[in-house]
Amino acid sequence: MEKFKCTIRLVLVFAGMLFVIAAPVVNASAQASDKRIEAIRKIYDETNGLIAEMEKETAFSSIFVVELTVNKHLSPYPAVGIFQTRSTFYYTYGDREKNPYPDRLLKISGEYRRSARTEKGEFYFNAAGELVFVLVTNPGSAIEESKAYFAAGRLIKLTDDGKEIDLKRQHAVEVAMLAKAEASRLTGIFRASLHEVN
């Protein structure tokens, strides 16, 4: 019995030591993640600030806009009814020594209307052109607002209606895959639209 008690004490001591050693690593990882999230929120705020300024003084802005509307006059689609998508691309100058034309994508806003539902999506990009943030709103659905944060192509944080979702869950994997696929599709449309200018 005494041997058993000693074994339990040793296990508890080792577990305590492991916790003390691991805690700073977990804390450091959480802080690194928080810094990435803060940087993404800064991109979000700065981008929307630039767009708001552009909308006030379009003639003096270095933000440009491409808009694509599918089914502009809302003609009914078979088996769907009302269907319309509108994508708005906000872009500016990138490296002007390499390319004198504006081609750096800042944000894509999408609106998807299907029958009585309207879903909106916003895609934000960093200076390197990488997807960093996706905001999807879908009023009246099971999940009304999703926020997905990306770093180096990987999902680093997901919230559904303000609740943080475990990134190992299948739902998080699917959200990351769908967000990246839609951002890639829309980015391709944007790049194709620039061929008219360049």
Q: Where are the beta strands (DSSP E) in 16-103?
A: 64-70, 83-92
Indicate the domain borders of the chain.
Answer: 36-194
Number of Cβ atoms within 10 Å of the Cβ of 174: 10
Tokens found for residue 7: 């074994």
**Which pLDDT score, from 0 to 100, does residue 25 have?**
44
Q: How many Å apart are CA 21 and CA 90, to the nearest integer? A: 47
**Which pLDDT score, from 0 to 100, does residue 77 have?**
82
Residue position matching structure tokens 């639209």: 193
Q: How many Å apart are CA 20 and CA 106, to the nearest integer? A: 43
**Which pLDDT score, from 0 to 100, does residue 197 have?**
56
Per-residue pLDDT of the chain (198 residues; tens, 9 = 90+): 454 444 444 333 443 433 444 444 444 455 566 899 999 999 999 999 999 999 999 988 999 999 999 999 988 888 788 899 999 999 999 988 888 899 999 999 999 998 888 999 999 999 999 999 999 999 999 999 999 999 999 999 999 999 999 999 999 999 999 999 999 999 999 999 988 655
**Which pLDDT score, from 0 to 100, does residue 8 have?**
43
Q: 19-44 in b/e burial notation, b at 16+ Cβ within 10 A?
A: eeeeeeeeeeeeeeeeebbeebeebb
Q: How many Å apart are CA 123 and CA 174, to the nearest integer? A: 17
**Which pLDDT score, from 0 to 100, does residue 158 have?**
98
Q: Please state the pTM of the whole predicted model.
A: 0.82
Q: 92-119 in b/e burial notation, b at 16+ Cβ within 10 A?
A: bebeeeeeeebbbbbbbbbebbeeeeeb
**Which pLDDT score, from 0 to 100, does residue 31 have?**
56
**Which pLDDT score, from 0 to 100, does residue 33 have?**
66
Q: How many Å apart are CA 68 and CA 16, to the nearest integer? A: 59
How far is CA 182 from its chain centroid? 11
